Structure 1
């Protein structure tokens, strides 16, 4: 070897090896900084997207969880013009126990959430006719719901949702329903935060398509492999200078999308003339909190899913009757926290129920009273009264209700004599001088009549609004398991998961039984939405490995 060639090799070694090493370390650092989900996406470029159907809280939770678990992409299909579903309307809060926000020093460590949920499930869990396998299945779902509730709260708080205020709702033995201290209702706060995080953190892998109605689950050899959905576009043709005479045509296009599917389309409470009339004809004519859209349960049934508890429909005892439009079919919910923070219910000026009983029990007591026919609806004339303490504790909600005209302010001295006497008696109960004849033992932030022990102050302002029972939640839906897999088997039978299909939220059945505890609807969306998203992401990645 010549001297010149030896010098050249030495020179290249001195110059190029360090450069190569630097480039290598930079490349390693760059890959490391991408994070787990990006590496998974790079490693399995042929993986299909996770398809989420329904953009309420369950769908958003599933989408976020799927992306965090490494899904290469998530396609979120929502049939409505905007995301949020009925979740965005949720006003009472989300349950969790035990959490850092609960006052353990005052109430003790919360170990009764499972017991309260089991008790609330009623005969569908406890009747002697219930098979042991069915009971075990339901209890397993409840264990997952309650056991993961604290981590669900942590998940949302870590994303930036304020859930620092804790209230006790009807049917609960301790305060465990979390909401924020600000004026934004918890449903809107959670939905907005999740949407923003999806867009900020996963903009390159997350797509939300509104106005996209899924019409079919695609199956191959009993496996769900994707969806068919349709979109509608409107085109305006200018035919004249008169804008009113221009022609508008609509075009409906059918699309197909392949990948594992998470179904989160919600219940059928607003499907008045469809599934609700089919399963609960006795509830015909009641107003609802839900938008009037058809239930999507038939899509799951067509893919082999079994349905359970479809006759189990929750009537919320307090939907506001708007004085400006008393016959409106869709009504605003009078949030359960209004009663939790001390509000009372009156009929002709007198209390008639423990306001902190379960929704089912309170609704039953209201519906024993004489009803009215208004605008084709069956409604009741019950007054909700909030004293200054309860109104202050629920200020974020109360301000909105006052603005909408659903609540009005009036002074104690301007109330009728029967109502004034009722508040006087109630103040004595709150002070501990007498026992409540209806069994109420928690009074929230009620403070009217507590100073000096002389009864309600004449110039104090209370908030009053008319409320009526409304269709609010459907406990029935697709049979599923603790892994959020939709089952082609009856509850309690040997499980037959439908490959490629998961579900979460109100579309599922089996958790709540006869009655859902307030605050557990948002919770089940987060708990089982996260499980479903992670499971679907793993399936997508596995499918990518198989090509």
Structure 2
């Protein structure tokens, strides 16, 4: 093995998605001596760089609402479902505490990206499960994930204390020997660095560690098969790669909610490659801006209900034929929705995932559905499924709509996000104790942020909160690790 590089005052970040980059930024801002970021892929960005709907925040200066948005916490608790209402009082308190930290810190997270990193977050949309418009993205052509990652990485690369190593896979957390704990027990060993492989060479680096390696929705034959075998055969928006949770459990980390896997209702089905298990996400903001879902030309759900509910409404129907579990559902956007989501629509059209048709070219069932929905969107009748927010839908339901063009694509539910992961506290310390334990037992020298963590989203994550948790908890983890590095 090559000798260890740098010293214990270096902060080590594992994973280069938004959580990892934010942790690195916070560690440098907190006067860490150095930050080494290790990424197993050839390029940085993780799944964050593909995020297309935006980042939640409330209340922010970008929200054009007559009253302050104060319902983010309650919306998140409602979406998280029954796991929040554990019979264990301590567990319930800790879960709600993490949600409160997430939502209370959301405006500061948006400000950090907008003011310090220079990300445009001026467009605000209401996504499914939200009671107000609070999901921020830019007005330009670059999707929010790519814009945030590119700008944040550019900022980091200007700092001589920052070092990014791609094609560098962490294979082991280095720890000290066990030390005596209270009442004669043993506390978890302190983490003092990592061992990683780059090509054929093994190296190590010493220092406190922030783990930000993402979830396991793409680990179809590993963690996903173990914890949710019923999801076998579903396509995914995630690259097929193994989760890195074992490295954390090997040093005593406690896992939570590993069976809680989010199915996103709309992954595009490529007409030229229908049976590909890897799907492009049809961003939730397409529905937020007015888009509707159709089965045999008819709507069947409030498209802005939670992802869990919309996915279930689709999956309760008979799937189509073929080697994959996928359903024959259409996503349709009218000219108003297409225009507002123009940057996304142009990309999806280029990929062959969306196509355009005149309303007059649609079958009669679909045209009838459009007329009814357009009348609801213009407040002439109530929506049959109770939808109250229609984004920028522009069709009116009259004959003048016939010459208008709509955008249509085929979509299906996909595995998308894993709510389960390692248990953390409000300092983002990785815990070797369960959430209902009387006493927290942090693993010394180890923090985590992003999708690798569990206990925050419960049964269902709200759209726009994945980027948010990366920023909120990434900042905390980086600050805490930097303080640990300075004390060495």
The answer, yes or no, to whether TM exceeds 0.5 is yes
Q: 2:90 aligns with which of 128, 133, 143?
A: 133
1:227 to 164, 174, 194: 194
Is the Cα–Cα contact under 8 Å of residues 290 and 330 in structure 1 kept in the other structure? yes
Match of 2:345 among 380, 391, 398: 398
What residue ranges of structure 1 are gaps of 5+ in the alignment? Answer: 1-44, 233-251
Tell me: CA distance 1:505–1:456, structure 2 relative to 1, closer, same or farther (3 Å): farther
Aligned residues: 470
Matches within 5 A, 1:36-47: none
Question: What is the CA–CA distance in structure 1 between the aligned matches of 2:399 and 2:284, rounded to whole Å?
Answer: 25
Match of 2:440 among 462, 484, 495: 495
Structure 2 counterparts to residues 321-360 of structure 1, below 5 A: 321-360=269-308
Q: Which residue is equivalent to 2:167?
A: 211
> 1:433 is matched with which residue: 355, 380, 389?
380
Correspondence list, 1:455-534, <5 A: 457-493=401-437, 494-534=439-479
Residue 103 of structure 1 is matched in structure 2 by: 64
CA distance, structure 2, for counterparts of residue 172 and residue 289 of structure 1: 23
1:455–1:339 Cα change, 3 Å: farther
1:483–1:456: structure 2 CA closer, same or farther, 3 Å change rule?
Answer: farther
Structure 2 partner of 1:117: 76
Distance between the aligned counterparts of 1:130 and 1:212, measured in 2?
Answer: 43
In 2: Cα distance, 1:476 partner to 1:111 partner = 27
CA pair 223-440 structure 1, distance change in 2 beyond 3 A:
same
Q: Which residue of 1 aligns with 2:364?
A: 417
- Decide whether the 8 Å contact of 1:59 with 1:264 is kept in 2: yes
Deviation at 1:76, TM superposition (A): 0.2
TM-score, normalised via structure 2 length: 0.95
Distance in 1, Cα, partners of 2:400 & 2:279: 31
Aligned to 2:49: 88
TM-score by length of 1: 0.85
- Native 8 Å contact 1:412 1:456 kept in 2: no
Map residues 9-408 of structure 1 onto 2, 5 A cutoff: 48-105=9-66, 108-126=67-85, 129-158=86-115, 159-200=117-158, 202=159, 204-221=160-177, 222-232=189-199, 252-374=200-322, 376-408=323-355
Superposition deviation, residue 456 in structure 1: 5.9
Tell me how far apart the structure 2 counterparts of residues 88 and 46 of structure 1 sit (CA, whole Å): 31
Does the 8 Å contact 2:8/2:208 carry over to 1?
A: no
Q: What is the root-mean-square deviation of aligned Cα atoms in Å? A: 1.0
CA distance in 2, matches of 1:432, 1:529: 43
In 2, Cα distance between equivalents of 1:46 and 1:416: 68
* Cα distance change on mapping 1:520 and 1:456 into 2, 3 Å: farther
Offset at 1:46? Answer: 6.4
Equivalents in 1 of 2:236, 2:400: separation in Å? 35
Q: How far 1:492 sits from its partner (Å)?
A: 2.1
Contact 1:49 1:259 in 2 (8 A): yes
Post-superposition offset of 1:372 = 2.0
> Partner of 1:172: helix, strand, or coil?
coil
Secondary structure of 1:351's match? coil
Q: Residue 254 of structure 1: CA displacement?
A: 1.1
Maintained 8 Å contact 2:7/2:205: no
Offset at residue 432 of structure 1 (A):
1.4
Deviation at 1:437?
1.5
Q: C-alpha separation between the residues in 2 aligned to 1:186 and 1:135?
A: 33
2:184 match? none
- Equivalents in 1 of 2:135, 2:76: separation in Å? 13
Q: Is the 8 A contact 1:124 1:130 kept in 2?
A: no
SS in structure 2 of the partner of residue 178 of structure 1: strand
How big is each residue's C-alpha offset from its partner over 1:309-355, in whole Å with a ceiling of 9 and x where there is no partner?
Answer: 00000000000000111111111000000000000000000000000
What secondary structure, in the 3-state scheme, does the structure 2 residue paired with 1:122 have?
helix
Q: 2:403 is paired with a residue of what secondary structure?
A: coil
Maintained 8 Å contact 2:8/2:192: no
Q: How far off its partner does 1:211 sit? A: 0.5
Aligned partner of 2:389 in structure 1 is 442
Contact 2:8 2:206 in 1 (8 A): no
Which of the two has higher C-alpha Rg? 1
